[in-house]
Amino acid sequence: MPVSDECIAYVLDQLSGWDGVIARRMFGGAGLYRQGRMFGLIADDTTYLKVDDSNRQAFLDAGSSAFKPYPNKPAVMSYYEVPADVLERPEELVLWARRSWSIQNSQKKKK
């Protein structure tokens, strides 16, 4: 699941309207973080955002699928692919990313 420097730069540029977003490389991919909380990831030059019951349907309605870290295993993670039309519109991407960050932020507070 390698990710290119160009893809990371593109996603960060698209999210530049939201201060404090950084990418950290991990396991051949990259995590998207804000204020120390990972809300998204990039793998195989595909961007994924955190989901729960509050936003999963929007991803499903857009035809997105869950991130599968191991293609030959049924395991999925609670991250869904960002629809291409959302990724191409920075203002829309920031809205979706904020929702995902809020999910991650509220889950951390519960623990």
- pLDDT tens digits, residue range 73-109? 777 789 999 999 999 999 999 999 999 999 988 876 5
Over 70: is that where the pLDDT of 45 sits? yes
**Which pLDDT score is estimated for 108?**
60
21 pLDDT higher than 90: yes
- What's the confidence (pLDDT) of residue 30? 96
Residues sharing a CB contact under 8 Å with residue 98, sequence separation 6 or more, in sequence order: 18
* pTM of the entire predicted model: 0.91
State how far the Cα of 65 lies from the Cα of 35, in Å rounded to an integer. 27
Neighbour order of strands in the sheet with 37-43: 21-26, 29-34, 37-43, 46-50, 79-81
Domains (range + CATH), the chain: 5-110 (3.30.1460.30)
